[in-house]
Amino acid sequence: MTTLESRTLGQSGITVGALGFGCWAIGGEWQDTAGNPLGWGKVDDDESVAALHRALDLGITFFDTADVYGAGHSERVVGRALRGRRDEAVIATKWGNLFDESTRTLTGSDTTPAYARQALTASLGRLGTDYIDLYQLHLSDASLESAAELRDACEEFVREGLIRTYAWSTDDPERAAFFAEGEHCAAVQHACNVLEDAPEMLALCAERGLASVNRSPLAMGLLTGKHGSGSRGTTGDIRAVPPSWLRWFGEGGVPAPEWAARVDAVRSVLTSDGRTLAQGALAWLWARSPQTVPIPGFRSVAQAEENAGARAYGPLSADQLAEIAELTTAG
């Protein structure tokens, strides 16, 4: 049994466990202006709150959401769940997208400092808190010119006590490094999982002492092993009508054959030692870098318990990590 070390968000002194929970899915259904789904289907808010409470009871303290998830709804659910327990949690949220909360529609984006303040004020209200622990720019390809102004705005928010730290949610190491020049930048949120590694970003996090907050640690459900039992083919699920960037699924939420084959190639290693496939995928991330904080999504108490249970097994061994590296580069 290997003990997982906690993580620190940059130089902030804010300590989180090695596992966080992502709150995109619990935002429920929302859409773009063309009517394409951007959520994960229908949700039961009472179940979401119960799952968040169960996570807290199991020692999960880091919760990552965004103002646009469910067009404000995810933040409201997180705020409801943390009422009376705010001091137990580290809250991360994001800004940059414009949306209509009444129609649950994504309508655009805004990179101005004035909007950043407006969005922050709105998020604080929905979350029912007077500060955000980690505030993240949600526009992965924003210009460096805009980012410079937003970084300065975030430093002002820190001085005012509205946020404690900030980060950029981007898969571009150059952009992440640029934001990291700010004194209170503590992390970068980026895609990383056993199917698609991010060596440059992990190296940057190690070099700068940043937390590596890993979105899509389970490849949006592909690494859960529940190919035939999910709701990916249902109305309102982004995986049923996948946008161009979502390569893991085809129309109707069916796993793309080439990606399903990659999962099959590493399945036996990930599920060794009694782990479920999802737990093995999280263990790979912990073995990959001591900076990683994977944030798997959840929609039920059972999913919260399974994800939290991964901690008992710890990271994969060096031999298992090497074996997976061979399997994923073969052919």
The CATH number of the domain where 275 resides is what?
3.20.20.100
Does a structural domain hold residue 181?
Answer: yes
Res 229 pLDDT > 50: no
Average pLDDT over residues 137-155: 98
Does a structural domain hold residue 250?
Answer: yes
11's tokens: 């130089």
Q: Closest Cα to residue 104, out of 185, 176, 35?
A: 35
pLDDT band at 234 (very low <50, low <70, confident <90, very high): confident
User: pLDDT exceeding 90 applies to what percent of the chain?
Assistant: 91
How many structural domains compose the chain?
1
Calculate the average pLDDT of the chain: 95
What predicted TM-score, i.e. pTM, was given to this entire model?
Answer: 0.96
The Cα–Cα gap between 193 and 292 comes to 11
Does a structural domain hold residue 270?
Answer: yes
pLDDT at 233: 63
The pLDDT tens digits of the residues spanning 273-305 come to 999 999 999 999 999 999 999 999 999 999 999
DSSP state of 4: P
pLDDT at 3: 66
pLDDT band at 225 (very low <50, low <70, confident <90, very high): confident
CA angle 81, 214, 146 (to 5 degrees): 95
User: pLDDT exceeding 70 applies to what percent of the chain?
Assistant: 96
Does a structural domain hold residue 152?
Answer: yes
Average pLDDT over residues 88-104: 98
The residues, any chain, with a CB within 8 Å of residue 49's CB and separated by 6 or more, are: 77, 80, 81
Helix, strand, or coil (residue 202): helix
Residues facing residue 169 across a β-bridge: 189
The pLDDT tens digits of the residues spanning 2-41 come to 568 999 999 999 999 999 999 999 999 999 999 999 999 9
pLDDT band at 329 (very low <50, low <70, confident <90, very high): confident
Pairing of strands 105-109, 97-100: antiparallel
Q: Which domain holds residue 143?
A: 7-329
Place of tokens 């900076």: 291
pLDDT band at 251 (very low <50, low <70, confident <90, very high): confident
Res 231 pLDDT > 60: no
Contacts 24+ apart (CB under 8 A), 38-41: 38/106, 38/238, 39/69, 39/70, 39/236, 39/237, 39/238, 40/231, 40/236, 40/237, 40/238, 40/239, 40/297, 40/299, 41/231, 41/234, 41/235, 41/236, 41/237
The residue among 195 and 1 whose pLDDT is bigger is 195
Res 1 pLDDT > 50: no
The Cα–Cα gap between 169 and 153 comes to 16
Res 170 pLDDT > 80: yes
The Cα–Cα gap between 320 and 272 comes to 9
Does a structural domain hold residue 77?
Answer: yes
Q: Closest Cα to residue 59, out of 305, 273, 286, 331?
A: 305
Does a structural domain hold residue 149?
Answer: yes
Does a structural domain hold residue 1?
Answer: no
DSSP state of 311: G
pLDDT band at 232 (very low <50, low <70, confident <90, very high): low
CA atoms within 13 A on the CB side of 98: 8
